[in-house]
Amino acid sequence: MLKPAQNENTHPQGNTRLKDFLFTSESVSEGHPDKICDQISDAIVDRYLTSDPYARTAIETVVTTDSVIIVGETRGPSDITHDVLRDIAKRKIRDIGYEQQGFDWRTVNVDVRVHSQSADIAVGVDAAGNKDEGAGDQGIMFGYACTETPVLMPAALHYSHNILKSLAEARHSGTLAELGPDAKSQVTLEYRDGKPVRATSIVVSTQHSEKLSQADVREMVRPHVMNVLPEGWMCPESEFYVNPTGRFVIGGPVGDSGLTGRKIIVDTYGGSAPHGGGAFSGKDPTKVDRSAAYAARYLAKNVVAAGLADKCTIQLSYAIGVSKPLSVYVDTHGTGLADEARISAALQELMNLSPRGIREHLHLNRPIYARTAAYGHFGREPDADGGFSWEKIDLVDALRQKLGA
């Protein structure tokens, strides 16, 4: 049997970890202005990959009152015209549920400013001769997993996402038709001896019909919070905040503008782990901002699922046009049952971490991205068509064998 590795229980920066503390994470709904943009951008990625699995996309979307602006660069089939992109945006807005004054899928103006990919970028990224496919940009990417929830995700973020997903499902079904698409949640948990034990406060802000009072909305939201949290975890009544300003009738892009890539902490680990800074949505899988972040999560999750650590953070780094990662860093936060250098070596033996290797191992050249653009890219169940392939734990046995576990 492996014994715990002898390493200091500190962050790389040297700060001693607290065992008893409060920690907060937030989520935003599919109707939040930034998330509308992420979903439109990723719906466009899916459209390109449907026609050409090797298409290139770098799409960003902006929304405001009565308007959508789509910008970026692509390389793919010529029949994907600006009119096609406008139609994708309108259908996505319809699916989210926006038919309100100031932002209605039927009447919204969609301005498309998309052009061809830079030839300079293509030269660095494309495989040619003896040169393997290079990274689409320089950057650092992080993956994380922990034992706080069955899906090996941080608990505060997991519950924040699930509260909003539950409300959205009820809204789409008609059960809560009086609620609007725009919503946010925030969960604060108490940790004792490093483990979450209860919620100390819950915040939910949700767009609603003018006919509803704050008290009405509070009671509509309550069961969706209670059903998501573990039994006995509900916060005190005085710390249960629903629409704390008192009114949230004006919402979505009428109330605030939105932009692709502005909710990267919501997309990843809710602040429980580092983030390299790059957004995911709108990018095809040659962009390591996306694909390497998925690979890092995949590897970290398999380390934890294999019982090699209770927590695992993995950092990958790349240079534009270079195929091999510049570094593969593993931190098990003092919970590891093997030396982190050995874990790093084993992971690199089990997976080719070049951009091409990641794409092929996780089968990323498929139209599987629009579904990732709300309620988190991680902690989701793998889909039969290959969606969320980075959530599989199919390296567990091989890792245990290599590390003698």
Which segments are annotated as binding site for K(+)?
60
Confidence label for 188 from pLDDT (cuts 50, 70 and 90): very high
Average pLDDT of 318-342? 93
Supply the pLDDT for residue 5. 52
pLDDT of 8 over the 50 cut: no
Cβ neighbours of 311 (radius 10 Å): 23
* pLDDT tens per residue across span 92-122: 999 999 999 999 999 999 999 999 886 655 5
Give the SS3 label for residue 145: strand
Residue numbers belonging to the annotated binding site for L-methionine: 73, 117, 256, 287
Asked whether 283 and 57 are in contact (CB, 8 A), the reply is yes
The predicted structure's pLDDT at residue 146:
98
Binding residue positions: 32, 34, 60, 73, 117, 182-184, 247-248, 256, 262-263, 279, 283, 287
Q: How far apart are the first and last CA of the chain?
A: 6
Residue 9's pLDDT is what?
41
User: Which domains does the chain carry?
Assistant: 21-28+156-250 (3.30.300.10), 33-125 (3.30.300.10), 139-147+261-403 (3.30.300.10)
How does residue 163 score in pLDDT terms, banded at 50, 70 and 90?
A: very high
The fraction of the chain above a pLDDT of 90, given in percent, is 87
Nearest Cα neighbor of 183 from 65, 66, 26 is: 26
Q: 């429980």: which residue's tokens?
A: 272
Cβ atoms of 251 and 30 within 8 Å: the answer is no
**pLDDT higher than threshold 60 for residue 192:** yes
Give the Cα separation of 171 and 180 in Å (integer).
Answer: 8
Q: Which range (82-86, 124-128, 204-208, 397-401) has the least confidence?
A: 124-128
The alpha carbon torsion through 116, 120, 124, 125 (nearest 10 deg) reads -10
SS3 261: coil
% of the chain beyond a pLDDT of 70:
92
Angle at 372 between CA 118 and CA 185, to 5 degrees: 120
**Residue 261 burial (CB count, 10 A):** 20
CA 138 to chain CA centroid, Å, is 20
- Please name the residue that has the structure tokens 């936060």: 333
Could you tell me the pLDDT band of residue 137, with boundaries at 50, 70 and 90? Answer: confident
CA 243, 244, 250, 253 torsion-angle sign:
negative
E strands present in 240-378: 240-242, 258-259, 311-318, 327-331
Cα(111)–Cα(33) distance, integer angstroms:
17
State the sign of the Cα–Cα–Cα–Cα dihedral 218, 223, 225, 231: positive
Given pLDDT bands bounded at 50, 70 and 90, which one contains residue 405? confident
pTM of structure: 0.92
- pLDDT tens for 249-294 read 999 999 999 999 999 999 999 999 999 989 999 999 999 999 999 9
Q: Which residues are annotated as a binding site for ATP?
A: 32, 182-184, 247-248, 256, 262-263, 279, 283
Rg (CA), the chain: 22
Angle (CA) 14-19-22 rounded to 5° is 105
| 192, β-bridge pairs | 195
- What confidence category does residue 6 fall into, taking pLDDT thresholds of 50, 70 and 90? very low
Sheet holding 311-318, edge to edge: 139-146, 311-318, 327-331
Pairwise pLDDT comparison (137 vs 262), residue with the higher score: 262
Q: Give CA separation, 15 vs 151, 270, 293, in Å.
A: 28, 20, 25
Q: Is residue 132 very low, low, confident or very high in pLDDT (cuts 50, 70, 90)?
A: low
pLDDT at 245 exceeding the cut of 50:
yes
- Which SS3 state, helix, strand or coil, does residue 61 take? strand
CA angle 201, 207, 210 (to 5 degrees): 120
